[in-house]
Structure 1
Amino acid sequence: MLSAIIFLPLVGAIVTALVPKDRGDLARWIAAGVTTIDLALVVFLALKFDVAQGMQFAEKVAWVPQFGISYNLGVDGISITMLFLSALLSVIAVVASWKMETKPTAYFAMLLLLEVGMNGVFVALDFVLFYVFWELVLVPMYFLIGTWGGPRKEYASIKFFLYTLFGSVFMLVGIIALYLQAGTFDITAMSGLGLPATFQWWVFAAFFLGFAVKVPVFPLHTWLPDAHVEAPTAASVLLAGIMLKMGTYGFIRIALPILPHAANQWAPFITALAAISIVYGAALAFAQKDLKKLVAYSSVSHMGFVMLGIASGTAEGLNGAIAVMFSHGVVTGMLFLIVGMVYERTHTRMIQDVSGLSHQVPVAGGLLAFASFASLGLPGLSGFVGEFLTLLGAWKSSVPAAWVVIAAIGVLLAAAYTLSMVQRVVLGTPSEAVSKITDLTRREVALLVPLVVLTLTVGLYWNSLLRFTDPVVTRIVAMLAGA
């Protein structure tokens, strides 16, 4: 089943790439059909998933036996959560791109290839397989930004590629070092091996660079705003919604269970960077005049909360980190979609030029306000769950309390930039550009409805998410405590 979830989009990408260039309509329907079937398979797995068990739906076949490399797949409560998010946002990205007229066959093939890599990262249990999928994601995203992006697309795509490749080199060094020490590439077999403390420290440093670039953590974040601003809407949705989570997923899946002693040693440093990311990202978001860039910098701030929860090493903190990952994927995906829909109509993203949405396009304005309130962490919406738990977990941990206080200030800054944006863009006087546009179509509203439902469900019923993640988190916390 997991193999089908990974490779169905690959088959779809190949078929779509072979479609005649003048048959963009066929490419759209193939991509929509493949991603929808893939989502249905993931939902089926989630319904069959037993939260009381560990890794499930395992598939393991010897691949390169002389080096201990295997085709090894499986999911637990954390990976099934991220797999669902990946499959859902892939469907939404395809439908959001329905009007794509520039090289549509290649475009939809790239979206499907991107889903292959994202899904693979979340289910791979062999380091070589994990690394292959990790690197695979770079290629389609590079072309999505570089071919279908904005005026500075070449600069943004190359910067994205080089930054991420830089991190990947260090991650590869860490993987090779672990193999030479443990004699296996099996990720689950390495957990709790009790590797030497000094060795753990250096390998953790390598993985930190690999994962932190992808998150991204300050000061390795500078590629993100450029990539988001230049990327087409669907690519921004997948970049923010899924690709950033690959980095934090790597910390939770690999760094904490395999290198628990080093994770405890690195915790104060990561906490400091997380707190700086939260405040720095929020401050820059407040200063932005471009609506899409504001959302991009808010991502730096939100991912700082994820890192804060990871560094805490507590059950509350880790559950909160995963909750922020899920909520950020849903809510920021919603924000990028709405910004893209407004841009299609006004051909501008400048805040002063898209003011007064609620007067002219009340559906778009209302949904933008809803997503913004979820993003700032309003109680009752999904954003509150993760931020509350990460701050609680960080406060209960042994990390310096001063950094936790600084992180909490980030919540106030988020309220400041979000409310300021809503006041101007949603409630302000309609600009000349806005006064001429029409409201969202049924297709556009249908795209946003699943994200609205998830935002409310997780916000009102925390256990809808935490019941999947808590058993895995409990095991990781026990490993950290015993290191």
Structure 2
Amino acid sequence: MALTLLLLVPLVAAIVLLAMPAAASSDRLIALGAACVTAVLGVVVVWGAHSVDVPWIRSLGIRWHFSVDGLSAALVLLTSLLVVGVVLHALAGPTPSGGSRSTYLGAIMLVETGALATFLARDAILFFIAFEVVLIPMWLLIRRFGDDHVPDETRADAAGRFVLFTVFGSTLMLIGILLLVAHQGTSDLEALARMHGAGLAHSLQVAIAAILLTGLAVKVPLWPLHTWLPSAHTIAPTAGSVLLAAVLLKMGTYGIVRVAVAAVPDGVIALSPVLAALGAVGTIWGGLACLVERDLKRLIAYSSVAHMGFIGIALASGSHTGLQAALFANIAHGIVAALLFFLVGDLKEQWGSADLSTPRVALRDRAPRFGVAFLFGLAAALGLPGLISFWGEFLSLYAAWSPAEGVNVGVLRGTVVVGAVGLALAAAYALRVARILWAGEGAPEMPVGATTASDVVVDEAGVRWGVILTLVIVMVVLGVAPHLLLTISEMDAAALLTGVTR
């Protein structure tokens, strides 16, 4: 019942909010109440390892099968708890222009429904359907509630590019799933994991893995299929950027683990050099783009491409350590990206732009809480030891240096070298942003108390500061005690690689 309610509560809330008239005032209570109840249910479901498995479409053998395990538990918690922060943050400020507040909140709740269903689905067809649920509400957030400082054509282009790329990826993913189901005779993801590719010719495994990996690489996204991401992040409102980075990108990585690695392991191993190479190039490409990018939201989007590259390298290693590293880095990026997009969204809301070329007075002087939180986010983004991102990136490179049997050692070790260069670039662009925003480099000297349009900023406070402070605390806690997260997935990660489900 708890698992069913976990999916039902945000779905019903989304429907009610989307159907509400614009003048209704109860949307705040409905959205916040549904988000909080869903978060509590998420904790209950993860704690009790709940499951539901009943027939759905009997003629096709598709079951209404949802369950939580070590691979999905952290993602369920991240999604359900983060949406509470997103709703609180949204209610504490003005609603982006383009529609009513109830529509805005309804789209957020519908994204949460699709994401949770994706992480909990244990039927391949059900997984695909849940994956697609998030498409329309995210398009709505970008198209209708996107940055009103840009022309309508720019919003339409960003939203259209998001849809075209993701639908292309979805089509490939569906083809791969149908091929897998047709040859294995079941769409049950647990049964497919137990089969572990048995009965499939090596060439067929490689073909299915190639289709699945290409489709899901669009969702991650991995270089060079990432070009839809910067524009989507730049145009999306704060809630859209946070959900896109912290939740939607995680669905692509999770899909690679749950479907491709589990069901066609030999095919993934055969393609691991390509996967590792794309990931390595992504770390360099994203880092170089961040060094010259002027728009702060776009910069963080490119940094996401770099961070996802490390996950690609980890998955290519084919080892237990690599899988653990990918799962950990997935959560780490979600938390760090959410923090940075919350902060950038608040600054853009006050300044009207996120252009780094505009001289601004130092945050350390005018908004110290803003400045300190930014330093934590930037330090985590560059992989500073003691913060959450360090472990995902370090373990990714460690796993690639000693990959599983059958993986091309030479290629994987080459990507370790490239990845290390990517870490150096991350330090360079993080320090560049810190110099401009925190230290105020390039800002004109001004008397104490003087203000201009470019430096008027109100420091973080109230509910929004509470959301940001919580994310900073989580970054530090999991950076100091990574075992809290690693132990959640340890046994299920080992079981997935051997085909022996728990």
Cα deviations by residue, 1:272-325 (Å, 9 ceiling, x for unpaired): 000001110111011111111110100000011111111111122111111111
2:55 aligns with 62
1:100 partnered with 2:128: no
The answer on whether the counterparts of 1:242 and 1:329 sit within 8 Å (CA) in structure 2 is: yes
Alpha-carbon RMSD across the aligned residues, in angstroms, is 1.4
> How does 1:82-161 map onto structure 2 within 5 Å?
82-98=75-91, 99-100=94-95, 102-150=99-147, 151=150, 152-161=154-163
In the TM superposition, residue 434 of structure 1 has moved relative to its aligned partner by: 4.7
- DSSP 3-state at the match of 1:339: helix
- Provide the C-alpha distance between the structure 2 equivalents of 1:322 and 1:316, rounded to a whole number of angstroms: 10
1:365 aligns with 371
> How does 1:110-259 map onto structure 2 within 5 Å?
110-150=107-147, 151=150, 152-193=154-195, 194=198, 195-259=200-264
Cα deviations by residue, 1:317-349 (Å, 9 ceiling, x for unpaired): 111111111011001100000001111111120
1:42 aligns with 42
The answer on whether the counterparts of 1:270 and 1:307 sit within 8 Å (CA) in structure 2 is: yes
- Provide the C-alpha distance between the structure 1 equivalents of 2:289 and 2:430, rounded to a whole number of angstroms: 12
Deviates more, 1:84-93 or 1:153-162: 84-93
1:408 aligns with 420
2:488 aligns with 468
In the TM superposition, residue 477 of structure 1 has moved relative to its aligned partner by: 3.2
Letter matched to residue 373 of structure 2: L
- Provide the C-alpha distance between the structure 2 equivalents of 1:434 and 1:472, rounded to a whole number of angstroms: 51
1:438 aligns with 458
Letter matched to residue 482 of structure 2: W
The answer on whether the counterparts of 1:458 and 1:465 sit within 8 Å (CA) in structure 2 is: yes
Cα deviations by residue, 1:142-199 (Å, 9 ceiling, x for unpaired): 1110100122211000000000000111111111111211111101101142122111
- Provide the C-alpha distance between the structure 1 equivalents of 2:180 and 2:155, rounded to a whole number of angstroms: 37
1:323 aligns with 328
Select which of 402, 427, 433 maps to 1:421.
Answer: 433
- DSSP 3-state at the match of 1:60: strand
1:332 aligns with 337
Letter matched to residue 90 of structure 1: V
- DSSP 3-state at the match of 1:62: strand
- DSSP 3-state at the match of 1:216: coil
Deviates more, 1:431-440 or 1:294-303: 431-440
- Provide the C-alpha distance between the structure 1 equivalents of 2:180 and 2:498, rounded to a whole number of angstroms: 22
In the TM superposition, residue 355 of structure 1 has moved relative to its aligned partner by: 4.9
- DSSP 3-state at the match of 2:67: strand
The answer on whether the counterparts of 1:356 and 1:434 sit within 8 Å (CA) in structure 2 is: no
Letter matched to residue 402 of structure 1: G
- DSSP 3-state at the match of 1:157: helix
Cα deviations by residue, 1:12-46 (Å, 9 ceiling, x for unpaired): 011212322112x4212211110111011112233
TM-score normalised by L of structure 1: 0.95
1:391 aligns with 397
- Provide the C-alpha distance between the structure 1 equivalents of 2:468 and 2:43, rounded to a whole number of angstroms: 19
The answer on whether the counterparts of 2:46 and 2:68 sit within 8 Å (CA) in structure 1 is: no
The answer on whether the counterparts of 1:93 and 1:235 sit within 8 Å (CA) in structure 2 is: no
Which has more helix, going by share of residues? 1
Letter matched to residue 365 of structure 2: H
Cα deviations by residue, 1:233-258 (Å, 9 ceiling, x for unpaired): 00000000010011110111110110
- Provide the C-alpha distance between the structure 1 equivalents of 2:332 and 2:454, rounded to a whole number of angstroms: 29
> How does 1:290-369 map onto structure 2 within 5 Å?
290-353=295-358, 354-369=360-375
1:457 aligns with 477
- Provide the C-alpha distance between the structure 2 equivalents of 1:301 and 1:146, rounded to a whole number of angstroms: 26
- Provide the C-alpha distance between the structure 1 equivalents of 2:64 and 2:468, rounded to a whole number of angstroms: 36
In the alignment, structure 2 segments of 5+ residues that lack a partner are 445-451
The answer on whether the counterparts of 2:279 and 2:312 sit within 8 Å (CA) in structure 1 is: yes
- DSSP 3-state at the match of 1:63: strand
Cα deviations by residue, 1:395-444 (Å, 9 ceiling, x for unpaired): 11144221221111100000000011101111125564453222112121
- Provide the C-alpha distance between the structure 2 equivalents of 1:323 and 1:355, rounded to a whole number of angstroms: 36
Deviates more, 1:277-286 or 1:446-455: 446-455
Letter matched to residue 379 of structure 1: P
The answer on whether the counterparts of 1:352 and 1:425 sit within 8 Å (CA) in structure 2 is: no
- DSSP 3-state at the match of 1:436: coil
In the alignment, structure 1 segments of 5+ residues that lack a partner are 49-55
Q: Give the count of matched residue pairs.
A: 472
- Provide the C-alpha distance between the structure 1 equivalents of 2:42 and 2:163, rounded to a whole number of angstroms: 29
TM-score normalised by L of structure 2: 0.92
Letter matched to residue 402 of structure 2: K
In the TM superposition, residue 66 of structure 1 has moved relative to its aligned partner by: 1.9
2:449 aligns with none
- DSSP 3-state at the match of 2:294: coil
- Provide the C-alpha distance between the structure 1 equivalents of 2:11 and 2:144, rounded to a whole number of angstroms: 20
Judged with a 3 Å threshold, the aligned counterparts in structure 2 of structure 1 residues 438 and 110 are, in CA distance, closer, same or farther, namely same
The answer on whether the counterparts of 2:313 and 2:415 sit within 8 Å (CA) in structure 1 is: no
1:6 aligns with 7
2:448 aligns with none
